[in-house]
Amino acid sequence: MILGTAGTGKTVMAVHRAFYLAQPGTENAGPVLLLTYNKSLVTYIQHLASDHPGDVTIETYGRFGRGYLASQGLMGYGQIAGSDQREALVEGAVRDVAAGYRPGARFFTRPTDFFLDELAWIEGNGLSTDAEYFDAERVGRQEPLQRRQREAVWAIRETYVAARKAAGLHYDWASLPSAVKAQLHVDSSKRRYKHIVVDEAQDLTPEAIRSLAAAIPPDGSLTLFADYAQQIYGQRVSWRSCGLAVGKVETFIDNYRNSPEIARLAIALANMPHFKDSADLVEPRAPIRAAGAKPTLIACGSSDDEALVVRDAVQSAGRTARVGILTRTRAEARAAIAEVRRTTRVTMLHENNSIATWQAPSGVYAGTYHSGKGLEFDVVVLPYCSDGRRPHADTIAAFGPDEAASRESRLLYVGVTRARDELIISHTGALTTLLPPATPDLYDLYEVTTS
């Protein structure tokens, strides 16, 4: 287990370790599976691999799980529910179960996101009976559910699974790891991979990690690289809950990416009260890089002004820089580039799986914080960091204000730590309370109002 904060070289080391373990001359060498979250990272690492000897397969967990089950004759074509199908089926299950309760029971009026998240958490932790679910402990600041509420969630889960299977959808992505683990436990054939190396392991569920532990032979190895400050999917989990006998825990604390001024903001963010609820966080250390400029914080008169800030940031960055414009939603990303795209080509991160990730060519990239995961840019612009937008009203409605703050500040942490040299943050009205307050020790402060 390697725990490290942002920019400490986890991806770089994961690649080196994978190729080392696969090198025919290495003691205990064997075929290696290198898992990473990001499809664009898969593409880039595959390109690197062409220069190395040794048998390294690079893919996402989903691809591995689906492929393994197919190899066992357990996965037919189109048997995994897509996210829209899952959402519709869960909505239906909530309605069906609510019908058995008194009309208008408030619990069932919660946003579907809440139920989707709770069911994913159940699957991710491998809870297969109601008794296990009722007793389960959790990490994070999600408001605890009452016993009766958990009973209702379990009934929704059973109804959903039955409806999904009736529709010919044997799996959803959340249930894949349990199916993989269960099959590996009865599969005594020779393992395909001797070693498994995982980058961004904080976003794998405990069940996914357990399934990987079951996928290697007794003389193989499993290496996990993770930063729990960047855990941005669903409820927080701890690798400690996987029940693995971890031989060695290393921590990476030297940040090679961010300028000291940018890292200082990231450290201040990670020290805010709503951030600190995980036992696995590694305290970031100020980087060893040369000093640069403080992050720029720009108070704007309107969101149109914010699009002008983005345009100006791109213009002053010049042609040789890699610029990343990161927002919470795709719609925000499109609005943010409304001005800049009149004169400059912008690559949307989520529409292009083949960009060469952290060593992407110079240019302007835009997308969600999620799509920026694992990547780095010379200049990062984070527009719309306004109170009322961060955390988003939908997240507050689904998870309550404390949990929403906790989740969305992790997204901002990912955004802030993508920047190598320059970071520009803008907001309209008050600054979000998720970021450290607007003080001149952390930021260079500006105001822009055109209208």
Ligand X SMILES: Nc1ncnc2c1ncn2[C@@H]1O[C@H](COP(=O)(O)OP(=O)(O)OP(=O)(O)O)[C@@H](O)[C@H]1O
Contact set with ligand X (CB under 6 A): 4, 6-12, 227, 230, 256-257, 358, 374, 376, 417
- Of 11 and 40, nearer to ligand X (C-beta) is 11
Question: How, if at all, do strands 322-327 and 377-382 pair?
Answer: parallel
363 annotated ligand-binding residue: no
CB nearer to ligand X: give 133 or 275.
275
Contact 44, 291 (CB under 8 A): no
Q: Closest distance between ligand X and the C-beta of residue 226, in Å?
A: 9
Residue number with CB closer to ligand X (21 or 169): 21
Other Cβ atoms closer than 10 A to 288: 9
CB of 415 to ligand X, least distance (A): 11
Q: Is 5 annotated as a binding residue?
A: yes
Residue 12 CB, nearest approach to ligand X (Å): 4
Rounded CA separation 328/297 (Å):
18
Q: How many CB atoms lie within 10 A of CB 290?
A: 8
- Residue 214 among known ligand-binding residues: no
Shortest CB 282 distance to ligand X, Å: 11
8 labelled ligand-binding: yes
**9 labelled ligand-binding:** yes
Tell me if 252 sits within 8 A of 411, measured CB to CB.
Answer: no
Q: What distance in Å separates the CA atoms of residue 329 and residue 321, rounded to the nearest whole number?
A: 24
In whole angstroms, the minimum distance from the beta carbon of 291 to ligand X comes to 17
Q: Does the annotation flag 54 for ligand binding?
A: no
Q: In this structure, what DSSP letter does residue 179 have?
A: H
Please identify the residue of the shown chain whose CB is closest to the bound ligand X.
9
When the beta carbons of 93 and 226 are compared against ligand X, the nearer one is 226
CB atoms within 10 A of CB 223: 21
**According to the annotation, is 220 in a ligand binding site?**
no
What does the alpha-carbon distance between residue 249 and residue 241 come to, in Å, rounded to a whole number? 15
Q: Quote the longest CA-to-CA distance of the chain.
A: 69
Minimum CB separation of residue 174 from ligand X in Å reads 24
For ligand X, the closer of residues 326 and 398 by Cβ is: 326
Is there a binding annotation on residue 62?
no
Q: For ligand X, which is the closer residue by CB, 146 or 251?
A: 251
Q: How many CB atoms lie within 10 A of CB 359?
A: 11
Closest C-alpha to 362, from 336, 334, 333, 324: 324
The Cβ of residue 51 has, within 10 Å, a number of other Cβ atoms equal to 7
Give the annotated binding-site residues for ATP: 4-11
